[in-house]
Amino acid sequence: MELIARLVRSSELTLRNFLKWPPGSLFPIRGLEPSFAGMIPEHAIEPMDEDPKSEGFVWGVPKRRRTAERRWSRKIGAEGWHMKILQPKTNLIICDSCGHHHEAKHLCRNCYDRVKAETEAIRTKIESQFGDNPEDRNVVVLYENETVGDSATQNKLLVELSKPRPAWFSKNLLQKSTAGVDNKTTTVTTKPPNLGGS
């Protein structure tokens, strides 16, 4: 008995769906409609043009609201990434040589500008003295009241500047880092103290 009831229900649903699609009547002439079409009341069949979703339009509105965290990150930024608002720098330190402030792990801008100006002065003096021809000899810079022995200036270009040497421009910068290193070095292994035990 249940099987028959289920069969009747499914055939009734199939018939209703068939009469709903396509919208409007399949048979525009009144006399050609099937006899069972009038059995379903008119208010039971929903017209398709009343539902805007059935026309295939997708409206350009968000389906879900953005969370507060996402709105905050879009407006201001994320702390670990890019922040759109200005923040105070907490990694400023004072330069030991000139006393100006600069960021940690960065060069001091004031010292950099001083070295750049001094380098430009040396470069222009070299260009005015020797021209643009390339030289494959080392350059020795002599400031006011400085003298260098003959052995130090052998096969080197001498550039004399008529001003005193800056305090930060040491003479040691003119020496090569490997000068005076003894190749006969010996290594000694020592045991660190206070390790405990014997």
Q: Which of 19, 36, 55 is the last residue of a domain?
A: 55
* Residue 96 maps to a domain: no
CA dist 198 to 188, 189, 191, Å? 20, 17, 11
Q: Please, how many CA atoms are within 13 Å of residue 139, restricted to the half-sphere of its CB?
A: 15
* Residue 91 maps to a domain: no
- Measured distance CA(8)–CA(19) in Å, rounded: 17
Q: Are residues 109 and 163 in the same domain?
A: yes
- Measured distance CA(45)–CA(18) in Å, rounded: 11
Identify whether the C-beta of residue 114 lies closer than 8 Å to the C-beta of residue 132. Answer: no
Identify whether the C-beta of residue 144 lies closer than 8 Å to the C-beta of residue 126. Answer: no
* Residue 119 maps to a domain: yes
Which has the higher per-residue pLDDT, 174 or 194?
A: 194
Confidence of residue 105 (pLDDT cuts 50, 70, 90): very high
- Measured distance CA(47)–CA(67) in Å, rounded: 39
Most confident segment among 6-15, 49-58, 109-118, 162-171:
109-118
* Residue 112 maps to a domain: yes
Asked whether the predicted pLDDT for residue 49 surpasses 60, the reply is no
* Residue 82 maps to a domain: no
| Cis omega (within 30 of 0) for bond into 22 | yes
Asked whether the predicted pLDDT for residue 40 surpasses 80, the reply is no
Q: Pick from 108, 105, 115, 113: which is nearest to 94 by CA?
A: 108
Q: Are residues 115 and 170 in the same domain?
A: yes
Estimate the share of the chain in helix, then strand, then coil, as percent rounded to the nearest 5.
Answer: 35, 10, 55
Q: In terms of DSSP H, where are the helices of the chain?
A: 2-20, 68-75, 109-130
- Count: domains in the chain: 2
* Per-residue confidence (pLDDT) for residue 74, from 0 to 100: 92
Confidence of residue 169 (pLDDT cuts 50, 70, 90): confident
* Residue 92 maps to a domain: no
Identify whether the C-beta of residue 97 lies closer than 8 Å to the C-beta of residue 109. Answer: no
Identify whether the C-beta of residue 95 lies closer than 8 Å to the C-beta of residue 102. Answer: yes
Identify whether the C-beta of residue 113 lies closer than 8 Å to the C-beta of residue 131. Answer: no
The structure's pTM equals: 0.48
Q: Are residues 169 and 110 in the same domain?
A: yes
Average pLDDT in the chain: 78
* Per-residue confidence (pLDDT) for residue 44, from 0 to 100: 58
* Residue 60 maps to a domain: no
* Per-residue confidence (pLDDT) for residue 41, from 0 to 100: 60
What letter represents residue 123's amino acid?
A: R
pLDDT in tens, 108-148: 999 999 999 999 999 999 999 888 888 888 888 889 988 87
Residue range of the domain that includes 130: 101-174
* Residue 93 maps to a domain: no
Asked whether the predicted pLDDT for residue 98 surpasses 60, the reply is yes
Confidence of residue 103 (pLDDT cuts 50, 70, 90): very high
